[in-house]
Structure 1
Amino acid sequence: MAPTAALSSALKQAEQLRKDGNHCFKKDRFGAAIDAYTEAITLCPNVPVYLTNRALCHLKRNDWTKVEEDCRKAIRLDHNCVKGHYMLGLALLQREEYAEGVKELEKALDLGRGADPNGYMVEEIWQELAKAKYMEWEHESTKRSWELQNLKEACEAALKQKHYLENSEIDGYYDEVSISNSKQLKDLDKVFQIVAEADTPKEVPDYLCCKITLEIFRDPVITPSGVTYERSVILDHLQKVGTFDPITREPLAEYQLVSNLAIKEAVQAFLDKHGWAYRTD
């Protein structure tokens, strides 16, 4: 058989195996699906989708090591593989490698938005990214809280020791109540309260939230009327309700929507400082 004909035959067999694998996957027969995708990979090892399909089966089985292996192979074949970056991010998060996991999910989100801004994958990736960012913040916040408490206790002990030495030199008398109520300790308390404020959840400012969903913006767009909405929400309104601005009632078409970069940057700055705002529940 000529090389071209052999390649064509292998591709045809691999595609049939992919379809068989998809059929098994839909019936939750993940082992059989893995076998089918593995045969397809053996025939055509340079097709990323066979690897990401198998990775998804491993994900369903919580076999995160194999998820990572298949996704890394898929990404080597296609650097813009959305599902590869997405599932790799999830696998890294399982190992509590938050920084690298978040990085992969952000890459997947950027690629997903470029391919299909309103696709189901974009929403799914965003939800996982928000959870990952929140977990990352929670991990770092707990660490900071512990470190601050230790530092505060050390500072308090140093102040009490200083107070004790000063008073002992004067009259040999040490008043525990006096030092506990001292201005220095109260000032110290205020300083540590201010430092801890960034990690204290509160309301997100209204200007950073969509007027329809009341949730913090992800991809804000501004209308000719000057109102900013979440892109997916206003697009859904235009498609299902009517071609008008839901607040001003002015006529509105999709092409008139412009990314609100100022708000987008403000949201990112807020999230960078207040990771608790990523919480989605």
Structure 2
Amino acid sequence: MVTGAVSAMAAKQAERLKEDGNNCCKKERFGAAIDAYTEAHYMLGLALLQREEYADGVKALQRALDFGRGANPTGYMVEEIWEELSKAKYMEWELLSARRSWELNSLKETCVAALNQQRALDMSRTEESSEEDYSSHTDQLKALDRVFEKAAEEDKPTEVPDYLCCNITLEIFRDPVISPSGVTYERAAILEHINKVGKFDPITREKLDPSKLVPNLAIKEAVAAYLEKHVWAYKTGC
């Protein structure tokens, strides 16, 4: 009951923020409009997640992340949105993974039962069972195991490939940028390094000005494709 009330309040707040964003646009206060839209989609996403509407919640959080990155890629809001988006994606994957696992196990049990039934039927039609018949039945069961093990592989977390991970954060890239030296970093991490440690590439030690960092779109697309197929990677490190 309390969760439902909180969810409704968050949804109403999201609508108010959208209206604020529209008003800011009319006044050509575009920066303020983007901030309002970012927070609006963020609040809406949280409200949907509280209702366990994960698919729509993820979409709202993704839009919030897109708005946030456009306005301030290194802002605290972007990090906060990413954390919530990651949790939502992982929770959605857990539910779907559990359902797929149950379906696979049920199907496997049905297949094993069918093979055993066929084996019993074959034995009833002959006076004795040969070693060859037994071996054939065993091979069929082993082949069935291999098929279902292969089908379950996508839901088994493994190590994320190194090229998709930042050398500073040791996590999968979110907003990758490439330095003039050819090294790719997480944007927020390399900017923090430049601001707190010094204007040099932490790997090559060459001078590095933040204005020289450019988005690594190829890696960003590779990460998106990887996460689409391996959603568990939203939660695991590299």
Note whether the superposition's TM-score is higher than 0.5: yes
Q: 1:158 to 1:111 in 2, by over 3 A?
A: same
**Which aligned segments of 4 or more residues in structure 1 are displaced greater than 3 angstroms?**
76-80, 172-175, 178-181
Q: Over aligned residues, Cα RMSD in angstroms?
A: 2.5
State the 1:170 CA deviation. 2.0
Residue 142 of structure 2, aligned match among 162, 169, 186: 186
What TM-score does the superposition give when structure 2 sets the normalisation length?
Answer: 0.86
1:156 and 2:112 aligned: yes
Q: 1:280 to 1:194 in 2, by over 3 A?
A: closer
**Larger RCO (CA under 8 A, 6+ residues apart):** 2
State the 1:237 CA deviation. 1.1
State the match for 2:61 in structure 1: 105
**1:111-126 pair list within 5 angstroms:** 111-126=67-82
1:203 and 2:159 aligned: yes
| Whole-angstrom distance in 1 between the partners of 2:169 and 2:5 | 33
What TM-score does the superposition give when structure 1 sets the normalisation length?
Answer: 0.73
Question: 1:185-215: CA deviations, max 9, x gaps?
Answer: 1011011111111111121111111011111
Identity value in percent:
60
| Whole-angstrom distance in 2 between the partners of 1:97 and 1:236 | 35
| Whole-angstrom distance in 1 between the partners of 2:208 and 2:44 | 40
| Whole-angstrom distance in 2 between the partners of 1:99 and 1:246 | 39
Which segments of 5 or more consecutive residues in structure 1 lack a partner in the other structure? 1-57
1:234 and 2:190 aligned: yes
Count, aligned residues: 222
1:223 and 2:166 aligned: no
**1:162-181 pair list within 5 angstroms:** 162-171=118-127, 178=134
**1:32-181 pair list within 5 angstroms:** 63-75=6-18, 78=21, 80=34, 81-171=37-127, 178=134
Which segments of 5 or more consecutive residues in structure 2 lack a partner in the other structure? 23-33
| Whole-angstrom distance in 2 between the partners of 1:82 and 1:180 | 62
| Whole-angstrom distance in 1 between the partners of 2:199 and 2:137 | 65
The letter of the residue matching 1:254 is P
Larger radius of gyration: 1
